């Protein structure tokens, strides 16, 4: 078993779980580039209902994300994941069989009820060693980003060939494939990672909601996904108006997404190496706000739209990639699962509000109203983000402990916090676990382990 790389079990867990997560997100994202064009064909259509159909999954995801994670801790990861996928598949079938906008909204809401993100991440943590866990989580994150790119490319192609119902039937087929992967490819977990690192704990949520730095991140991810969902109410129509046929939209999205990745990577490197992460983060929000404002003012010619879409996705991808990393450093030791649960719920709630608000704005104020209001929301986010504190470099660790009493654990915690390289320490005697944030260049891991296991 390599100490520096993933072993065979971890590789299998990483790629199978990442594929399951990616397939599910692909099914959710494919509607974005096509629904503004095909939605008006449904009975009962109105701009408000169109927005609700795009964002409905976000509300049920936000409400059920934390409870499903907690249930997975009680009843097992795989049973809860499979149950969630079944619900997701039923929702896809309901949407596929609907010829009214109301049926599609119901189906999308049911898709969101299969809220398995927390359970998948918890299973990934169970199947990996502490030092290899970030690599597995990064693999899952990469597949989520890839699924978004693929959705923008193949969504219009599938819908052009098979219609909107065909898109939802394709999503149901992807869900069956994901269920087969869970049942036959994903390893069974024999251990559980420390609870506080991967599953939300109800008694911690109230304090984390009011944590000043975490609050800024939660507002940020809410705003980012609100903007994304609201923009896709009109963006496909703008491309049609510019003369680009729906089935050719991938010819714009694909190079624009790749171009945005090339643009964002240098800024990520500068932010990390030059300790300018806060400035780069604020700059990305400013770029997002500027792009949204330009969308509302500039004419719908293809060249302008290509430039603006590249700018939009450069800002979006940078912010989407960096916020979880910042969260992992800001979250207090031992409550990362709870912090991530609130963060994920904020993300999905933003998607719902973006759909609902975007639909309402388009009904009352038209295309420019949507982009102007979203630009103002991005400016408000920028002002909030400027209050973020610079974070010292640290990594999160969890260690088993062997203390005879609560008092002995408290004494050890007092000694720990005064040791070189220990940024934060939380000892949970009832779980026999210690959650630490360490500067691993200064901390003596062997000395820490000796203290925790007297």
pLDDT digit string, tens, across residues 232-247: 888 888 888 888 888 8
C-alpha to C-alpha distances, 140 to 4, 32, 164, nearest whole angstrom: 19, 21, 28
Least confident of 33-47, 138-152, 309-323: 138-152
- The reply to whether 309 and 287 lie within a common domain is yes
Banded pLDDT at 413 (limits 50, 70, 90): confident
- The reply to whether 219 and 188 lie within a common domain is no
- The reply to whether 158 and 253 lie within a common domain is no
C-alpha 198, offset from chain centre: 15
Return the SS3 of 59: helix
- The reply to whether 188 and 100 lie within a common domain is yes
DSSP state of 43: B
CATH of residue 412: 3.30.70.100
- The reply to whether 148 and 289 lie within a common domain is no
Q: Are 450 and 349 in contact (CB under 8 A)?
A: no
Banded pLDDT at 421 (limits 50, 70, 90): confident
Q: What is the number of structural domains in the chain?
A: 3
Q: In angstroms, rounded to a whole number, what is the distance separating the alpha carbons of residues 172 and 151?
A: 15
DSSP 60-99: HHHHHHHHHHHHHHHH-HHHHHHHHHHHHHHHHHHHHT--
Domain boundary among 391, 409, 435: 391
- The reply to whether 260 and 277 lie within a common domain is yes
- The reply to whether 39 and 160 lie within a common domain is yes
DSSP state of 429: G
Considering the chain, what is the average pLDDT of its residues?
85
Query: Percent of the chain at pLDDT above 90?
Result: 34
Domain boundary among 338, 372, 391: 391
- The reply to whether 185 and 258 lie within a common domain is no
Across 162-170, average pLDDT:
95
pLDDT at residue number 164: 93
- The reply to whether 171 and 211 lie within a common domain is no
Residue carrying the six token digits 């049911």 = 110
Q: Phi then psi for 194, rounded to 5 degrees?
A: -55, 130
- The reply to whether 421 and 357 lie within a common domain is no
pLDDT digits (tens, 9 = 90+) for 287-303: 999 999 999 888 878 88
> Whole-model pTM?
0.83
- The reply to whether 371 and 320 lie within a common domain is yes
> Which residues are bridge partners to 399 per DSSP?
434
pLDDT at residue number 49: 93
Strands in 422-428's sheet, in edge-to-edge order, are 395-400, 433-438, 422-428
CATH of residue 157: 1.20.1250.20
C-alpha to C-alpha distances, 27 to 169, 177, 178, 281, nearest whole angstrom: 10, 12, 11, 29
Domain boundary among 347, 376, 391: 391
Dihedral (C-alpha) 306, 308, 313, 314: value to the nearest 10 degrees? 110
- The reply to whether 36 and 176 lie within a common domain is yes
Domain of 108 in residue numbering reads as 1-195
- Nearest by Cα to 189 from 101, 303, 73: 73
């Amino acid at each position: 078993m390599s100490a520096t790389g993933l072993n065979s079990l971890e590789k299998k867990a990483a790629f199978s779980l990442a594929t399951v997560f990616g397939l599910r997100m692909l099914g959710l994202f494919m509607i974005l580039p096509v629904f503004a064009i095909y939605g008006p064909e449904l009975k009962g259509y109105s701009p408000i209902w169109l927005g609700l159909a795009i964002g409905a999954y976000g509300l049920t995801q936000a409400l059920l994300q934390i409870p499903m994670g907690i249930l997975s801790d009680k009843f097992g990861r795989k049973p809860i994941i499979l149950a969630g996928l079944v619900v997701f598949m039923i929702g896809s079938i309901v949407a596929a069989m609907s010829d009214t906008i109301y049926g599609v909204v119901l189906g999308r809401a049911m898709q969101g009820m299969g809220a398995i993100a927390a359970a998948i991440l918890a299973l990934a943590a169970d199947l990996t060693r502490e030092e290899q866990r970030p690599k597995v989580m990064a693999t899952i994150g990469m597949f989520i980003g890839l699924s978004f790119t693929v959705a923008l490319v193949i969504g219009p192609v599938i819908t052009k060939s098979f219609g909107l119902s065909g898109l939802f039937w394709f999503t149901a087929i992807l869900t069956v494939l994901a269920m087969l992967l869970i049942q036959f490819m994903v390893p069974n977990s024999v251990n559980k990672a420390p609870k506080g690192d991967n599953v939300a704990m109800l008694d911690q949520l109230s304090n984390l909601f009011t944590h000043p730095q975490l609050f800024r991140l939660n507002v940020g991810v809410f705003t980012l996904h609100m903007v994304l969902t609201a923009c896709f109410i009109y963006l496909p129509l703008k491309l049609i108006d510019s003369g680009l046929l729906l089935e050719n939209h991938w010819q714009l999205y694909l190079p624009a997404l790749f171009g945005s990745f090339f643009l964002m990577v240098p800024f990520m490197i500068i932010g990390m190496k030059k300790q300018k992460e806060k400035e780069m983060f604020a700059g990305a929000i400013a770029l997002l706000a500027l792009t949204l404002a330009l969308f509302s003012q500039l004419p719908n010619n293809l060249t302008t739209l290509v430039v603006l879409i590249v700018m939009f996705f450069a800002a979006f991808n940078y912010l989407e990639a960096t916020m979880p990393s910042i969260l992992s450093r800001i979250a207090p030791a031992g409550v990362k699962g709870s912090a991530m649960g609130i963060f994920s719920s904020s993300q999905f709630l933003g998607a719902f509000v973006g759909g609902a608000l975007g639909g309402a704005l388009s009904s009352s104020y038209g295309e420019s109203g949507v982009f102007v209001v979203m630009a103002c929301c991005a400016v408000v986010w920028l002002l909030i983000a400027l209050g973020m504190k610079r974070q010292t470099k640290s990594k999160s660790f969890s260690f088993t402990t062997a203390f005879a009493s609560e008092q002995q654990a408290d004494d050890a915690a007092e000694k720990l916090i005064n040791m070189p390289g220990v940024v934060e320490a939380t000892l949970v005697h009832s779980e026999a676990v210690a959650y630490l944030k360490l500067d691993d260049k200064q901390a003596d891991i062997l000395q820490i382990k000796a203290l925790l296991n007297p």
